[in-house]
Structure 1
Amino acid sequence: MHIFLIIAQLVIGVMLICVILMQPGKTNGLSGFISGGPSESFYSKNKSRTSEAMLSRITVVLAILFAAICIVQTMIK
């Protein structure tokens, strides 16, 4: 059981790193500072249906699974 949890934690950890690296940056850099930020667009209004929202949800789920496995491993020892 302990070895299975270690392998699951390694796999979830690698998946979590990959999903985090696939997410786009949240800032516009200096251009957003000068122009006052992005204006309302179709993309910003429908952000919950985009791949960015999906990656965010996957990140949360993987992080919860990773934390749960850490707690279970601590309780088993």
Structure 2
Amino acid sequence: MYSVLLSVLIVLSVLLIIVVAMQPSKTNAASSLSGGAEQLFGKQKARGFESFLIRLTVVLGTIFLVLTLALEYLINH
């Protein structure tokens, strides 16, 4: 059981790294010159593929946390 969960955790961590790396950068070179007003008033919801990547990151992160806690429980008991 431990080795199966560990294998799934390793695969999940690689997937999480890939998904986070695929997300577009939120920084903008012009925002440093405008004083950040664009970031304050220009908030827009993510749409399409970007929204999918954000949701997938949250889901994979949650599964990663649960698997990590399960492995810790198996190690200590």
- Please say if 1:17 is aligned against 2:17: yes
Aligned mates of 2:74, 2:32 — CA distance in 1: 50
State the Cα RMSD in Å.
Answer: 1.9
CA distance in 2, matches of 1:76, 1:23: 34
Matched residue type, 1:37: E
Q: Following TM superposition, by how much is the alpha carbon of 1:12 offset from its aligned partner in structure 2, in angstroms?
A: 0.4
TM-score by length of 1: 0.79
SS in structure 2 at match of 1:18: helix
TM-score scaled to structure 2, two decimals? 0.79
**Number of matched residues?**
72
Query: Residue 67 of structure 1: which of 60, 65, 68 is its match?
Result: 65
Identical pairs, percent: 33
**Cα separation, 2, equivalents of 1:69 and 1:33:** 40
Aligned partner of 1:54 in structure 2 is 52
Contact 1:28 1:37 in 2 (8 A): no
Structure 1 segments, 4+ long, off by >4 Å, are: none
Q: Quick one: distance in 2 between partners of 1:59 and 1:2?
A: 24
